[in-house]
């Protein structure tokens, strides 16, 4: 384990915010993870697990404990009767795994191209985009229990997946550190296009439908929204979408429609089916609540290309979160909908390891 004291955290996050960590532990494997957790327990320090830093926002004061950065590597493909199993270490860059799977003409991850972060974060968030999510391919997630320091393996059914959620984000939050994940992919391509925007863009290419074509199209769509990391584009200094698309009951959606009409809205509200619920684009709610792409408040602002991306323009975490609260309050006042944040916002006051 590589251990650094008073290490700056901002360079390790895509949004570039946060003060120093008391300790930053670089963990290349399970033994390192156990050592870092043991250090935190001995000194009664809080722990924050970090992968690629694409979904984390640290406070300006920093973190008073151990930031455990999972940096393990390794990918193994294995032929099976019903497909190909791929097992990847938690510290592997996610898009690298997607790219290699597409290169091998394996279907199941192609719509998740261009998403920053590491493999270890995918089961926690049930990462998804353009009609695919991790729940559709994950076989198992191997973790280290933070209380016992023992390995535990969860099957797909064990993970309790929901929309951008899992047991690791809900009832078991901060109980486990993901160490490796196994997915099952399909041989020979055959991508399924479930998302209208992607299907239209793929069709416009007028090429045979392959996982390679889908990956290229997804990357182009994400670049157009500044959702692919690019040091030359200040809009990508973010955590991607800051808010989840709310899934409403029919009754709750009827109230949104009523508020929209009462305020003079005439165009239909865009929606997507989500089981028994109705999914409403959070970006649509944000813009109709009075916010615009490219808007700035101090050192924080909204991406000029996507209304859901809050961007650090050389400001502070306090400025960014103040803008987030302003947006949340405006959407709730206008539509009666409380937006849910997608990134992990690390609190300044945190519990210590015992």
- Sort residue 202 into left (φ over 0), alpha (ψ -120 to 50) or beta: alpha
CA angle, corner 116, sides to 82 and 193, nearest 5?
45
Catalytic residue among 192, 255, 340, 342: 342
CB 185 within 8 A of CB 98: no
Nearest to 14 by CA among 83, 94, 79, 75: 94
CA distances from 8 to 11, 40, 67, 135, 229 (A): 7, 18, 11, 34, 21
* Residue partners of 173: CB distance under 8 A and separation at least 6: none
Q: What are phi and psi of 193, to 5 degrees?
A: -100, 105
| Whether 342 is catalytic | yes
Catalytic residue among 241, 319, 334, 353: 241
Nearest to 126 by CA among 156, 149, 100: 156
CA angle, corner 302, sides to 92 and 272, nearest 5?
75
Nearest to 211 by CA among 125, 132, 118: 132
| Whether 352 is catalytic | no
Catalytic residue among 164, 167, 184, 288: 164
- CB neighbourhood size of 91 (10 A): 23
| Whether 241 is catalytic | yes
Three-class SS of 193-204: CCCHHHHHHHHH
Q: Which residues are catalytic?
A: 164, 241, 342
């Amino acid at each position: 384990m590589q251990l650094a004291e008073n290490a700056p955290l901002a360079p390790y996050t895509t949004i570039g915010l946060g003060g120093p960590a008391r300790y930053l532990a670089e963990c290349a494997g399970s033994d390192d993870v156990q050592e870092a957790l043991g250090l935190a327990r001995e000194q009664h320090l809080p722990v924050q697990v970090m992968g690629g830093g694409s979904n984390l926002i640290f406070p300006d004061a920093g973190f008073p404990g151990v930031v455990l950065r999972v940096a393990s590597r390794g990918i193994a493909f294995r032929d099976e009767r019903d497909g190909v199993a791929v097992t990847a270490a938690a510290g592997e860059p996610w898009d690298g795994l997607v790219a290699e799977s597409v290169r091998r003409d394996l279907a199941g991850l192609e719509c998740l191209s261009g998403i920053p972060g590491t493999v270890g974060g995918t089961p926690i968030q049930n990462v998804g985009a353009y009609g695919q999510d991790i729940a559709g391919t994950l076989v198992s997630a191997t973790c280290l229990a933070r209380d016992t320091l023992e390995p535990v393996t969860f099957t797909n059914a064990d993970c309790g997946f929901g929309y951008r959620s899992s047991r690791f984000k809900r009832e078991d939050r901060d109980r486990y550190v993901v160490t490796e994940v196994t997915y099952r992919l399909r041989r020979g391509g055959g991508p399924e296009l479930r998302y209208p925007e992607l299907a239209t863009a793929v069709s416009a290419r007028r090429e045979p439908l392959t996982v390679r074509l889908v990956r290229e199209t997804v990357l182009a769509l994400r670049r157009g929204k500044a959702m692919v990391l690019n040091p030359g584009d200040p809009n990508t200094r973010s955590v991607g979408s800051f808010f989840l698309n709310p899934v409403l009951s029919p009754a709750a959606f009827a109230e949104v429609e009523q508020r929209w009409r009462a305020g003079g809205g005439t165009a239909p509200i865009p929606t997507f089916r989500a089981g028994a619920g109705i999914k409403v684009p959070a970006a649509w709610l944000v813009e109709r609540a009075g916010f615009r792409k490219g808007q700035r408040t101090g050192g924080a602002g909204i991406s000029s290309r996507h209304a859901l991306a809050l961007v650090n323009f050389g400001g502070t975490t306090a400025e960014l979160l103040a803008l987030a609260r302003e947006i949340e309050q405006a959407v709730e006042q206008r539509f009666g909908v409380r937006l849910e944040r997608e990134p992990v916002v690390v609190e300044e006051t945190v519990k210590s390891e015992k």
